[in-house]
Amino acid sequence: MKTQTWNYPNIGINATILWFTGMSGAGKTTIAKRLKERLANKHNVPAVIIDGDELRRGICSDLGFSMKDRMENVRRAAEIAKLFSHMGYVAIVTLISPLDQHRMAAREICTGMNFLEIFIHCPLETCEQRDVKGLYERARAGEINDFTGIQSPFEFPDKPNVIISTHQQTVEESCSLLIGHLATVKII
């Protein structure tokens, strides 16, 4: 895949989007925050996090969890990531994006850029134990419809660029694995 290099003052990185996919509670946002810190502090690479929960509180607050709304949520996130990537940031998207078609649509929107799919894997039982917001409990009680992993499916990615197993790896180990991959593919 041909990528573009966007030259901004003091920035010479390839346009890059890291698309973190995984179920609620898997650790996407936690890992993204630590990765962003490490990219900035140790590699002088600017990064921005586009978080699914934050999007749903703002720009995507009009969307529910139907498949149509999920696709629109993915579209908006991908367009925002593309804009940040064009400005010289590594855009880290943390979005459940439960279906292959969602992730393929995001990849299509970001054609011409480094688009790395990062599967943040964690068993459903562990995600439910980590559920600080009580979303799984509410979904099981019928208070939230179409919740991923309960009433709605999550399709494991066929060929993600990186798999992080948060039930087996610490946040630091996960970030080191990602940093190593980014160095291998010459993004940093």
Residue 159 burial (C-beta neighbours within 10 Å; 0-12, 13-18, 19+): exposed
Q: Is 119 helix (H, G, I), strand (E, B) or coil?
A: strand
Is the separation of the CB atoms in 51 and 33 below 8 Å?
Answer: no
Q: Which of 24, 61, 66, 97 is catalytic?
A: 97
Q: Give the DSSP letter of residue 156.
A: P
Give which of 100, 3, 102, 101 is closest to 52, Cα–Cα: 102
Determine whether 97 is an active site residue: yes
Is the separation of the CB atoms in 153 and 23 below 8 Å?
Answer: no
Q: Which amino acid is at 50?
A: I
Distance CA 93, CA 109 (A): 14
Q: Which amino acid is at 123?
A: P
Residues assigned a catalytic role: 97
